[in-house]
Structure 1
Amino acid sequence: MTHTPFLSDQLLARIHDRAADYDRENAFFADDLAELREVGYLRALVPTDLGGLGLSLTELAREQSRLAAAAPATALGINMHLVWTGVAKTLHDRGDSSLDFVLTEAAAGEIFAFAISEPGNDLVLFGSTTDARPLADGSVAFTGTKVFTSLSPVWTRLGLFGLDSTSADAPKLVHGFVTRDSPGITVIEDWDTIGMRASQSNTTRLDGAVVAADRVVRRLDPGPSADPLIFAIFANFEILIAAVYAGIGARALELAVSSVQGRTSARTGLTKDKDPNMRWKIAEAAIRLDALQPQIDALAGDVDGLVDRGDLWFRALVGVKSRATRTARFVVEQAVAVAGGAAFSNSSEIGRLYRDVLAGGFHPSSEDSAHSTVATALLGPE
């Protein structure tokens, strides 16, 4: 597939140059965000007739890989906003206007974030420990704790969900969007991790935070759902997460190649790129990495093309996320192995990629969940 880059090489170079400082200082990628915003990247997926740039998911996934190669934490952080615009676009393309306000508000400059993950909740979208209490005017008050809330310093719109256990039709999972100025929202600045530090994915506490009636977008039964919103979240999240980790792998491979070209063996007198062990490691990393992009392109292309894969969608989506994060980790590990002791330095970019790539295992779907999904598709329910 031919891809015309949207983000310029010059912009990506500046973003790359800032990444190490953000990581060292555990600081949010504020300057990166300002530049990405200036070029319209936050409205990339918004259709042109709604004020956006009209990129496809396929095009955007390619850009996210390029951004991740420059600065993984920046790509992961901005991913969450892009996922919400992707969800809204996926619904819009299928005739569902329920999240069109996400598109128009993103075009107007609002920044969207996710408040889905909860401590100890391995049901992810199929259940919630957050209380969603309906109010008389149709609004809903949310009380609970959300973790891994990327873009914590800057989001203006927070997509969240919780469990209504009191209404006549309870239990229902309630999805909606709250504005940052709503009372009852506290951002806990607790993001002190070994990797993906610039994403600043802090904990968010909700204490009766109210979602307005016109921003309550779904009331769904707990458990797996055929609702288009759930498909749209899974599709955009898994594909764009896969794209980020594919980009990390691509950068690690570049660094592995350059590391062996610049070193000479004291034992043989040859440069390390002539060492058969080094060549095998790099080749194996490249072979595995080469399989990722066609899969990401194919899935994103089917979302763009309104292809109906039926029940096979979820197997494919969790599969590409799992494969991308595992492959990226393998490639980074090979880069560490061929770079040698230099990669253990805190100033090493390969070392930083090694820390960043570990986050892949924490994004939904987990390895256990992904394997359960695929096993169910092949063998039926347990």
Structure 2
Amino acid sequence: MTRDLLGPAPPALDRLPEVAAALAARADEHDRAATFPYEGVAAVHDAGLLTATVGTRFGGPGGGLADTVRILQALGGGDPAVALVTAMTLFTHAAQARAGHWPADAYRLLLEESATRPVLVNALRVEPELGTPVRGGLPATTAVRRAGHWELTGRKIFSTGAEALGRMLVWARTEEDPVRVGSFLVRGGSPGVTVLPTWDHLGLRASRSDDVLFDAVRVPEDDVVGLAEPGADGGRDAVVGAWNALGLTALYLGVARAAQSWLTGFLHERTPTALGAPLATLPRFQSAVGEIEVALNGAERLVTALAEAADAGDPGAAEQAPGAKVLGTRAAIAAVEQAVALVGNNGLTYANPLQRHHRDVLCARVHTPQDDTVLFTAGRAALARRPLTEGN
């Protein structure tokens, strides 16, 4: 794979405004119908952004976490459903650039396809009984070894972009003694793969995070990533966690900025008869918008600084990333909630996008790592630095 196929280095960030605007133009349409935004993903691909984190050793631009934060915030302000499936793909390429866990032939084919069309990638890990695997447990999805291939059977839920995925990294357990777990590479549309249209959500409706059934799906013997006994990998990679935490926080900050943009426009345009001037001239609204501005500025600065530090190899940045997600997503949610409160019924009217931004930004709470886990871990670490002694 050559750089000519995947685009120039560094990533083509100069096209972000036009791509975000194109996404925003149809975001409401896809939200109302809960339809997947294929044309939005195509726009991201055509701008060279979907492969922005492909490593330079694979002929890609080699975009880092700071680049990814910029991309996801911009796309999140346009259509967060497109931003979310883009995030999963960017995270996958970034992990491969760092560790190279994919089988060489499988990744080469992925890049060849990605040079000519959008190829979305996502890790499917959540199951009906298990829930999210970060809280422990083994998957019910099984992989049985056959002659020259694996046979994959199970069900995954909340599979973002399911109908449009070019590759699925399906977390499963082997039927061996001892058991091993790993991510099995499944092509979208493979025989035995069925996408069930179960997604009926308050927010991110266009993400089509549907259920996926796997019925004796054949997977080539070597197309497995990270196959090992449970716990053999030493736990979750902190750098992977930082990309997830900071990247997704940036996405929802983009949603909050879109809400703020609509709010300021509304306040300039709305001129009550009794006032005889736009609402934007009232000190109460000016102070409220100022509070939103300060909160979002601080959250964006934090996320950007940690992303740049992570790119520079600072291990402390990865450790602080989950806390930044708590602060950043809370700032984003609070900003949109305050905007809704300021404009009353207008903020909850379907004709206005603020209600959509409100529904979408609430989805920030469900992504890993969730607030309770982050705060528990941070609190325990803080207490461990100063153990209690008698008399204190």
Matching residue of 2:251: 244
CA shift for structure 1 position 103: 7.0
The one-character-per-residue Cα deviations of 1:270-320 (angstroms, maximum 9, x if unpaired) are 4322333322321221121112222222332233223333xx734x23222
Q: RMSD over aligned Cα, in angstroms?
A: 2.7
1:132 aligns with 2:142: yes
Confirm or deny: 8 A CA contact 2:126 2:157 kept in the other structure.
yes
1:145 partner SS: strand
Q: Distance in 1 between matches of 2:133 and 2:374?
A: 12
| 1:111 maps to amino acid | L
Change (3 A) 1:71 1:30: same
For this pair of structures, how many residues does the alignment match?
A: 369
Matching residue of 1:190: 198
Matching residue of 2:285: 278
Q: Distance in 1 between matches of 2:109 and 2:21?
A: 30
Confirm or deny: 8 A CA contact 1:325 1:361 kept in the other structure.
yes
Q: Unaligned regions of 5+ residues in structure 2, if any? A: 1-10, 385-392
Matching residue of 2:178: 169
Matching residue of 1:16: 24
1:144 aligns with 2:154: yes
1:180 aligns with 2:185: no
1:207 partner SS: strand
Confirm or deny: 8 A CA contact 2:178 2:229 kept in the other structure.
no
The one-character-per-residue Cα deviations of 1:216-247 (angstroms, maximum 9, x if unpaired) are 121345469536x7345323222211110111
Matching residue of 2:126: 117
Equivalent runs, 1:82-121 vs 2, <5 Å: 82-92=90-100, 101-102=106-107, 105-106=110-111, 108-109=113-114, 110-121=119-130
TM-score by length of structure 2 reads: 0.84
| 1:169 maps to amino acid | P
Moved more, 149-158 or 6-15: 6-15
CA shift for structure 1 position 63: 1.5
Q: Unaligned regions of 5+ residues in structure 1, if any? A: none
Matching residue of 2:163: 153
Q: Distance in 2 between matches of 1:85 and 1:364?
A: 19
The one-character-per-residue Cα deviations of 1:19-42 (angstroms, maximum 9, x if unpaired) are 111112211101112222222222
Q: Distance in 2 between matches of 1:369 and 1:224?
A: 22
CA shift for structure 1 position 138: 7.1
Q: Distance in 2 between matches of 1:246 and 1:20?
A: 18
The one-character-per-residue Cα deviations of 1:136-177 (angstroms, maximum 9, x if unpaired) are 55754333221121122221210121234x43333x432232
Matching residue of 1:356: 360
TM-score by length of structure 1 reads: 0.86
The one-character-per-residue Cα deviations of 1:40-61 (angstroms, maximum 9, x if unpaired) are 2221111344232332221121
2:185 partner SS: strand
Change (3 A) 1:283 1:232: same
Change (3 A) 1:203 1:6: farther
Moved more, 133-142 or 66-75: 133-142
2:172 partner SS: strand
Matching residue of 2:378: 374
1:333 aligns with 2:312: no
Q: Distance in 1 between matches of 2:89 and 2:38?
A: 15
Change (3 A) 1:90 1:301: farther
Q: Distance in 1 between matches of 2:60 and 2:140?
A: 33
Confirm or deny: 8 A CA contact 1:191 1:200 kept in the other structure.
yes
